[in-house]
Amino acid sequence: MISLLSSSNEDFDVQLSSLISWEASSDEEVNNTVRKIIKEVKDKGDSSVLDFTSKLDLLKVKSVSELIIPKENLKKSFNNLDQKQKDALCVAAERIKSYHQKQKQESWNYTENDGTVLGQKISPLDRVGLYVPGGKAAYPSSVLMNSIPAKVAGVNELIMVVPTPKGVVNELVLAAAHIAEVDMVITIGGAQAIAALAYGTETIPKVDKIVGPGNIYVATAKKQVFGQVGIDMIAGPSEILIICDGSTDPDWIAMDLFSQAEHDEEAQSILLCPDEGFIEEVKNSIQKLLPTMEREHIIRTALKNRGALILTKDIAEAIEISNQIAPEHLELSVENPESILDDIKHAGAIFMGKYSSEALGDYCAGPNHVLPTSSTARFSSPLGVYDFQKRSSLIMTSKEGATNLGETAAILAYGEGLEAHAKSALYRIDKK
């Protein structure tokens, strides 16, 4: 059902490498299909979007404007929710907003002794596209996590695309769009939606950056339009890694492992623990609880394919292995998580203590749930306000500053064989 590994095994490194390996690239057929879709949307605009929406989503309309959901309908979707759902969305939105407001960067500058001013100007992106999976899937949390940081950053216009196969609209998603103050919602999806956002059409505005999760066609399209627009990341399957000292209820640990495994069959759930007896308890909890889960088949498959309970020599070795894996979600289910925090080098989000379940981070703790996967936490960070702001350098040299810097610049320019650069700097030197 789930692999039992030990770090003391001679071939453990090979076993671990095999366990965590995942190929993010799509196959050639998908690449070619997406490339054709993007070209058609780029060349034909609205008419191409309508054709793909009809063929792939079985939704036939005469104009793209009919696919735009009026803002009053978003508000109506929110009003139609029961009070508990309303309250939950509002609490989550407020916590996400409060957290991300602390990430907002401000412009700064300083003046040198000769009067030269140097600094940095922070500006929000003008327009951002948000992709949200649609149909039977409901991801209102993704709407909040992707749109609220953009709004906090000061993005002027947020365009959301969400497929509605056969016209099936998800009220929770629309309600979340209302709460998050999304400016435009268009009921299109797939690679054609990514292309429309990247290049613009007669009706759909061109955006500067595209964020949000999607299937293999959406991920491939984001990869192919990168450079034309910015993207957040190419996300792989969901991951959770738990370091536990054996002091947590084994049922809690089992359910935490399930919480990521239920996403899809390729999701990864790993436990690192130096207590062999506790690992056996977790294994028993998995066997006990798994038959009670609605998504039992998906969880079982994920645990079998990419799950593991790993016995380590001690907590220090568990940390070492965790840093090697660089997981999306890391739970430090130990008595004193603060004491080992400094040793954690690579993780998307770190949940500290046995009461900090990953599920809280997914929905309402406040930090973003859009996180680096597939070991990219070694060099990437969670989605945040900084992803929707850009930086411009500020240089204002005084007359004295131009003189002080000019000769230095000229020497370096001549060294590179760039005469015009050198003379441009030398022209401004005070020759008194």
Question: What's phi and psi for 92, nearest 5 deg?
Answer: -60, -45
Name the H helices within 215-357: 216-225, 250-261, 276-289, 296-306, 315-325, 338-341
- Among the listed residues 40, 281, 328, 331, the single catalytic one is 328
Contact 154/47 with Cβ under 8 angstroms?
A: no
Taking alpha carbons only, the member of 238, 233, 196 closest to residue 53 is 196
**365-380 b/e with 16+ CB inside 10 Å = b?**
bebbbbbbbbbbbeeb
Catalytic residue among 263, 329, 346, 369: 329
Under DSSP, the state recorded for 275 is -
| Pairing of the two strands 108-111 and 117-124 | antiparallel
Give the pairing of strands 268-273 and 239-244. Answer: parallel
Is 328 one of the catalytic residues? yes
Q: From edge to edge, which strands make up the β-sheet containing 3-6?
A: 3-6, 308-311, 268-273, 239-244, 329-333, 349-352
Extract the tokens encoding 26: 């799509």
Q: What's the rounded Cα separation, in Å, for the pair 133 and 137?
A: 7
**Alpha helix positions (H), 80-215:** 83-101, 140-153, 171-179, 190-199
Whether 112 is catalytic is no
Q: Order the strands of the 389-396 sheet from edge to edge.
A: 108-111, 117-124, 389-396
Are 33 and 217 spatial neighbours (Cβ–Cβ below 8 Å)? Answer: yes
Give the DSSP H/E element, type plus range, for residue 350. Answer: strand 349-352
Q: Which residues neighbour 101 within 8 Å (Cβ) at sequence distance 6 or greater? A: 152, 385
- Active-site positions? 328-329
